[in-house]
Chains A and B, each alone.
Chain A
Amino acid sequence: MSAEDTPKDYSESPINLEYFYTAGSATTRFLNQVKEGNIVGQACPKCKAVYVPPRGSCPRCGVATDIEVPLTDKGCIESFTVVHIPIPGNPIVPPYVCAMIRLDGANISFLHLIQEVDIEQIRIGMRIQAVWKPKEEWTHSLENIKWFAPIDEPDIDVATLRFQEL
């Protein structure tokens, strides 16, 4: 029996969900700066932890992160994976490197791509810097950064990155 003749007891019905997302005041402040090519984290007034991207409050202390902290676009790879399989709905062609990016002066990391380097050379603690899209393409999104690429600086010992309250 060919595939066409096989009786089917199911059918596939793709659905498309569209939704409105309200960024909230803290993320709006952050994204307005990202649109100008600046990365501005937010610090907890109590424990002084710096969050980027900021969510508006410190999960440790439960208070608003209302102190703006301008940051550089340099940092290090806290950890990473090499994704070898295509992900449904995602246009990126594997293999690609998805890394936890820890910017200098920040106390949490976020996920972004690593490019412009042989995958075998990527390592935990490696120094990296943002590679930005052309200015005319900048929007309210961390997609303004195409990816992060290695820079010629000594590796960081990631054990030193753990936040400790002063």
Chain B
Amino acid sequence: MIQAGVIGVGQTKYDAKRRDVSMAGLVREAIDNAMLSANLDWDAVDAVILGKAPDMFEGVIMPELYLADAIGAVGKPVLRVHTAGSVGGSTAVIAASHVCSGQFKTVLTVTFEKQSESNATWALSPRYPYSPHINAGAGGYFAPFIREYIRRYEAPEHIGWKVAAKDRQNALKNPLAHLHIPGIDEKMVSDTPMLWEPLRYLESCPSSDGACAMVITAKDQVGSRNVAWIKGMAVRSEGTLSAGRDEVNPQAGIDCAKDIYNQAGITNPFNEIDCAEIYVPFSWYEPMWLENLGFCDLGEGWKLTDKDATAIDGEIPFNMSGGVLSSNPIGASGMIRFGEAALQVMGLAEDHQVEDAKVAMGHAYGGAAQFFAMWIVSSSLD
């Protein structure tokens, strides 16, 4: 297999309403930033791979066609990826796969969501045929799984507030983050209204406009560029309505993590990974994924969170950029995790840089927590 790396990451400013740009302007802003950081000419791009979440979110069906000019894809192969909220991650994996397979030398990949064009909670809460109309957005869907996690492991309620405050404190160090909440702390989180018990307002992700792009290239094209080498990558899914499924600790997440650790030669993720950007749209998913991804044993995740292990200066920093809790253009949210992991090992994360980060993990999940995408990037090829 051909070795590949990320040579450019580009993001937009994330905000509730980016009325200053169209969808095309939004994706182009991320692409321009990625192409500039990669120091690459358009001629060098062999193909463009675009991902986003449901087209219902903007009401534009198959936007990759109308966006062909904006994404520099005219006359070039284009592929559209859609795996719900995990799509930013799976798009990165698919883009990288097209380089590792030898199909293309260099691929530009971009993901976006312009949620201000519609209402995502409405789009996620349709009336299904022959069923009572009671579904209540993503928070309403995930809250029962979180309640079961809390019951199973007797976790105290302040854990959720702690994650919510920590990620927003990190966001204050990331000028691109959507939410900048001065003075954010656990008390401020716990004082906000309950939305979907046990989740409070500030324990939930925002709805954002934004895009993220990356340039992924083969080893022989890298030259003298700064690069984040892709050491392991995988996607997994599982049957949403399958008997025996454990929504609190999905098997597909366990398997996907094991796969990338094996590829990267990682036997102890807690010790060997320097930092991670993990998809945490609701506070409690930090301890849940700490366990699911093998950073600790079952029931120990909330204890790691409680002792600040996931803080930016902790033993295993999670979501240094502020994470999905601080910026959530759904289709891009997974790629932001993958791109931020790359920025860490390239030493380009500026104020939210983890000192001496050499190995980083990017993670995304989506749908009913049945889709997973992950990668490990490293500052060195060895």
Contacts and interface: CB of A to CB of B under 8 A. Distances in A.
B1 interface: no
Interface string A77-95: 0111111110111111000
Interface string A26-55: 010001000000000000100101110001
B147 A80 contact: yes
B132 A124 contact: no
Q: Which applies to chain B's interface (DSSP): helix, strand, loop or mixed?
A: loop
Interface stretch (B7-15, B70-78, B138-146, B271-279): B138-146
A71 to B, nearest CB: 14
B134 A23 contact: no
Interface residues of A, number: 52
A59 interface: yes
A92 B194 contact: no
A110 B72 CA distance: 45
Contacts of B130: 23, 27, 31, 140-143
B134 A92 contact: yes
Contact of B241 (A21, A59, A159): A59
Interface in B172-202: 193-199
Interface of A: 9-10, 15, 21, 23, 27, 31, 44, 47, 49-51, 55, 58-60, 78-85, 87-92, 96, 98-100, 107-108, 110-113, 124, 140-143, 145, 158-159, 162-165
Given A87-B136, A111-B132, A113-B132, 18 more contacts: A10-B19, A31-B130, A51-B241, A58-B243, A60-B242, A78-B148, A81-B199, A82-B196, A85-B196, A88-B122, A90-B125, A90-B133, A96-B134, A108-B242, A110-B131, A112-B134, A140-B130, A141-B131
Interface of B: 19, 59, 119, 121-122, 125-127, 129-137, 140, 143-145, 147-148, 151-152, 193-199, 238-246
